[in-house]
């Protein structure tokens, strides 16, 4: 489900720059930041880089599984 939200212009512009470099859409970049940030807040004892690497690895594995899905 998609929901429209208002977001600070500065965050939007930063997401636009990073999204282009990371080959993501602007909404996907903001979603990525939100998910990493939530994981970091939920696990304050873990370094953010570790959380990012685990999250990326988990999502890459899922996309690989979906690519070979027999459904």
Q: CB–CB of 22/2 below 8 Å?
A: no
Local confidence pLDDT in tens for the 71 residues of the chain? 888 989 999 999 999 999 999 899 999 999 999 988 998 899 999 999 998 888 888 877 555 445 444 44
Structure tokens at 70: 């027999």
Secondary structure (3-state) at 43: coil
pLDDT at 63: 55
Distance CA 15, CA 19 (A): 6
pLDDT at 61: 58
Q: Token match 């696990």: residue?
A: 43
pLDDT at 56: 81
pTM listed for this prediction: 0.72
Per DSSP, the chain holds a count of helices (H) and strands (E) of: 3, 0
């Amino acid at each position: 489900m998609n929901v429209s939200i208002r977001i600070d212009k500065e965050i939007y512009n930063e997401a636009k720059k990073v999204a282009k470099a990371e080959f993501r859409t602007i909404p996907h970049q903001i979603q990525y930041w939100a998910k990493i940030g939530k994981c970091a807040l939920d696990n304050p004892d873990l370094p953010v880089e570790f959380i990012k690497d685990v999250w990326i690895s988990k999502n890459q594995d899922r996309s690989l599984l979906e690519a070979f899905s027999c459904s």
